[in-house]
Amino acid sequence: MSGRHATPSPRKQREVRATGQMRLRPHAGAGGQAAGDSRRGMVLLTVLWTIALLSALAMAAAVSFRGFAGIAAVGRDRVQGDALLTAGLEVAAGTVTSLGDRPLTEREAAVDLSTGSVRARFSDEGGRIDVGKAPVAVLASLLRFVGASDEQAAGVAQRIDQWRRRNVPRSANAATAAGNNLTEKRDAESPPFADVREVGQVPGMAPAWLAAMAPLTTVFGSETVNPLTAPARVIAALPGVTKVQLEAFLAQRRSSPADAQRLIAMFGSGQSYLAANPLRVVSVELAAALPDGYAAAARASIVLLPQDSQPYRVLVWRTLPPSTFR
């Protein structure tokens, strides 16, 4: 090859004469560059999707961890709240035990700990009207006290008594058929009501009456009310008790808190509804509060038995809304 321009080969010359132009070969690097750009685009897209996926997983994990942390905090508060309620129950039982033979009027105790505080309010269940055992006259008087008319009170009191008779356990009937005495019959019976709220199933019982009766009644008492431990409103709800009698009774009880005979004698014909029975069951209302604002409340009924292997036994434990106990 000589000169500045290379002479086309004979084949090229023929192609030029046939077509009138010279065919040029494509540049060898153009296709390779396009393929490389495509591969780099796919890699970049894959990396971006991977980053997005990892970000989503990280966000989901963070939400899950926050949820787990919240659940753990609630669980911790619940455990600490239950522990405080149990501590309050222990304090109440210890206080009752320390009274000895002295009557248990309504009392309150508070305990402050590093984990929170708990308050306990406790009283004798025997100082309330037992809806499962009280005479019909007492039930009718109680219903009038909470707002029922004379006719309504008499009718509902009779239906409560009928309800109680229908719910006598078969074991008690069997004991009677076998010729056992009245004491054995009563021992064989279970209470016709397991909870005061069950009285609401009796036909004619108004919800407002039941709500007003609740703090005055029990299912762990007896046929009579203990005058040494009964709240003033319970005494006021008994048949024939006047305002003058109630005020005189409360004044006498303040001066002679353990003289049951003198207190009972003040009610004349109504003294048959009263008796100073030994303490058997204690009602305990509990409220606990943690420093972070968590609150818990419960109501329990405990029994203290002489020479028992346990200091007390829990008959009923019911969790309540924290606002119940003020």
Q: How far apart are CA 64 and CA 58, in angstroms?
A: 10
pLDDT tens-digit series, residues 26-74:
454 555 555 556 666 676 767 777 777 777 777 766 555 554 444 555 5
pLDDT given for residue 51 in this prediction: 76
pLDDT given for residue 324 in this prediction: 66
pLDDT given for residue 33 in this prediction: 59
For residue 150, CA distances in Å to 144, 145, 153, 205, 270 come to 6, 10, 5, 14, 18
Residues in contact with 225: Cβ distance below 8 Å, sequence separation at least 6, in sequence order: 126, 127, 128, 129, 234, 235, 238, 273, 274, 275
Low-confidence residues of the chain, pLDDT below 70? Answer: 1-41, 43, 45, 60-74, 168-189, 324-326
pLDDT given for residue 40 in this prediction: 67
Of the candidates 258, 311, 320, the residue with the CA atom closest to the CA atom of residue 286:
320
> Cβ distance 227 to 221 under 8 Å?
no
Q: Domain residues of the chain, as ranges? A: 67-126+281-324
Of the candidates 148, 127, 291, 153, the residue with the CA atom closest to the CA atom of residue 217:
127
pLDDT tens-digit series, residues 138-174:
999 999 999 999 999 999 999 999 999 987 654 344 3
Q: How far apart are CA 55 and CA 201, in angstroms?
A: 59
| pTM for the full predicted model | 0.71
pLDDT given for residue 17 in this prediction: 52
